[in-house]
Amino acid sequence: MADIKKVVLAYSGGLDTSVIVRWLQDTYQCEVVTFTADIGQGEEVEPARAKAQALGVKEIYIDDLREEFVRDYVFPMFRANTIYEGEYLLGTSIARPLISKRMIEIANETGADAISHGATGKGNDQVRFELGAYALKPGVRVIAPWREWDLNSREKLMQYCEERDIPVDFSKSKKKSPYSMDANLLHISYEGGILEDPYAEAEESMWRWSVSPEAAPDKPTYLELTYRGGDIVAIDGEDMSPATVLAQLNKVGGENGIGRLDIVENRYVGMKSRGCYETPGGTIMLRAHRAIESITLDREVAHLKDSLMPKYAELIYNGYWWSPERKMLQTMIDDSQAVVNGVVRVKLYKGNVIVVGRKSDDSLFDASIATFEDDAGAYNQKDAEGFIKLNALRMRIAANKGRGVL
């Protein structure tokens, strides 16, 4: 353990990571550098500085990464219409590669030889953090306290704090949420508590970002979303930065009861886990992006993207953002988005995102061909006869050989 001189810790300032600071100092006799990322979790991050200083930390990093998070991670993911196992919009997963990247940058800047995180040995985040770290700095050491120590309960953590005079904002009398939560600009997640029973309905008081669909306004809200290169660049004609776009969609979507999800997912480490998620802005973005692609993408390009999306989603969920295969898929996806420009009009109403219009200068929709009225010869319907017969040829041959289904 003596060969560990300096460790960069992903630090929130909460109970777990405050204990980890002192545990690293005591166990490894090393210097600790704390890194706190603002990725839109909705809580003040600056108080982490005073907490780290009280623990004797001399090098403290607090970074506002909101724009980078949405621009370089969330938006590229949504260009692929990414969902995991048909439902999950990957709000936690997509934040981990950015945090890993910044931790490695700080390690390089400070001369640290190890990084540390507060992810447990049961979850996906340990995999995501560490795969990212090894991809970016192959020789880095990783310290995962939850896989080493015996402080496996809140009571033991509190006792550790009391014995070592660790200043934390928790007390036995202070009310604490029964859920394990993770938040960023894309979503907020809830696990644990009554959610460990997959048949128990989540309490209404649990949800923080959205009203229930029943309590949403009786009048719908309309939005016009302007796309350029597959990304939203303006809402209702007002240009916005990536982080501002997502924050605004979260606000409006939450007000209309949009984005709640209750799923049982398959973790990479092998177990099933029940979680609830609020992703108002992402839910709107997914629906609207598919709408603008529906008129701008070639059919086979769109279908190929859809066929590859589950693999792309699995790579992100499992922590392979920095892998060569994810980068290869991203290159293909991004190339397809050059023509994904235009405006999508959506109606938000009581938990629903309803596409009511789409337009683009790059549209492949040709009304003169698709019309039910007189098309003035734009489409020769007789051509369909040969098209159908040629596509049926192999089945006709098989049926003549007695391989028919009747």
**Strand order across the beta sheet in which 6-10 lies:** 59-64, 31-38, 6-10, 114-116, 141-143
Active site residue 241: no
Q: Exposed, middle or buried, 71 (CB in 10 Å: 0-12/13-18/19+)?
A: middle
Alpha-carbon distance of 301 to 309, in angstroms, equals 12
Active site residue 182: no
Q: Which of 16, 113, 362, 375 is catalytic?
A: 16
Plot region of 92 (φ>0 → left; ψ -120 to 50 → alpha; else → beta) = alpha
Alpha-carbon distance of 320 to 314, in angstroms, equals 8
Alpha-carbon distance of 125 to 318, in angstroms, equals 9
Task: Kindly state the tokens that stand for 212.
Answer: 């229930």
Of 9, 206, 42, give the one whose Cα is nearest residue 110.
Answer: 9
143, 114 in Cβ contact below 8 A? Answer: yes
Dihedral sign (CA 163, 169, 175, 177): negative
Q: Which of 66, 79, 96, 326 is catalytic?
A: 96
Active site residue 180: yes
334, 345 in Cβ contact below 8 A? Answer: no
Q: Which of 49, 71, 72, 180 is catalytic?
A: 180
Task: Kindly state the tokens that stand for 166.
Answer: 């660790």
Alpha-carbon distance of 235 to 214, in angstroms, equals 26
Active site residue 96: yes
Q: Which of 18, 125, 273, 287 is catalytic?
A: 125
CA distances from 316 to 85, 125, 260, 285, 330 (A): 12, 11, 21, 18, 11
Report the catalytic residues.
Answer: 16, 96, 125, 180
